[in-house]
């Protein structure tokens, strides 16, 4: 028995889902793992909850959560049928993807914050370093090139120039 929702989601008649026909609409990258889950459910007799991409009526794949339970037959390890549900979880998967992207952005922001920042005041022509940026200057002379210009190269603009050889500390200003 295949419910009407199959046709609503896939645009295919229920007869195409019978037997192994439903597998034709499973995303190729998910099919092997899904078949392994089904075999595990058959051998254990327990409900599993695999998810997979399913080709939908609009021509793209959407995420589905299966909750199949095998109905055992007289032969051990063989199911007479399967009972279960398929739930559309595409919006949940998309939200999880957005959340992962936001977590990565937050992680990057945290890394950038630890690197510090500087502020150039165009009116006073002063450069102020955050404590993190000042610490980085003490550890990496290339950061100082932003303030003094590269060795043997042209000097940095007056706005960013400090005293030659001097790295500005937290709260210090280049005159």
pLDDT values of the chain reduced to their tens digit, one per residue, 175 residues: 688 888 999 999 999 988 888 999 999 999 999 999 888 887 777 778 999 999 999 999 999 999 888 888 888 777 787 788 889 999 999 999 999 999 889 878 877 776 666 777 777 777 777 777 777 665 333 333 444 444 555 555 433 444 444 445 555 555 5
pLDDT of the residue at 81: 79
Q: In what order do the strands lie in the sheet with 61-72?
A: 51-55, 61-72, 79-88
**Is residue 25 a contact partner of residue 10, using CB atoms and an 8 Å limit?**
yes
pLDDT of the residue at 136: 66
pTM, to two decimals = 0.56
């Amino acid at each position: 028995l295949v419910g009407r929702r199959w046709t609503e989601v896939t645009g295919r008649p229920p007869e195409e889902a019978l037997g192994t026909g439903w597998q034709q609409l499973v995303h190729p990258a998910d099919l092997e793992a899904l078949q392994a889950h089904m075999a595990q459910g058959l051998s254990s007799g327990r409900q599993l909850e695999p998810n997979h991409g399913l080709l939908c009526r609009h021509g793209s794949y959407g995420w589905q959560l299966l909750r199949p339970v095998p109905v055992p037959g007289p032969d051990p390890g063989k199911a007479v049928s399967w009972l279960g549900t398929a739930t559309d979880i595409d919006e949940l998967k998309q939200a999880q993807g957005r959340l992962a992207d936001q977590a990565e952005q937050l992680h990057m922001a945290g890394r950038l914050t630890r690197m510090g920042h500087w502020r150039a005041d165009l009116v006073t022509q002063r450069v102020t370093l955050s404590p993190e940026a000042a610490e980085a200057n003490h550890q990496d002379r290339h950061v100082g090139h932003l303030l003094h210009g590269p060795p043997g190269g042209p000097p940095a603009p007056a706005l960013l120039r400090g005293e030659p050889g001097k790295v500005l500390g937290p709260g210090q200003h280049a005159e």
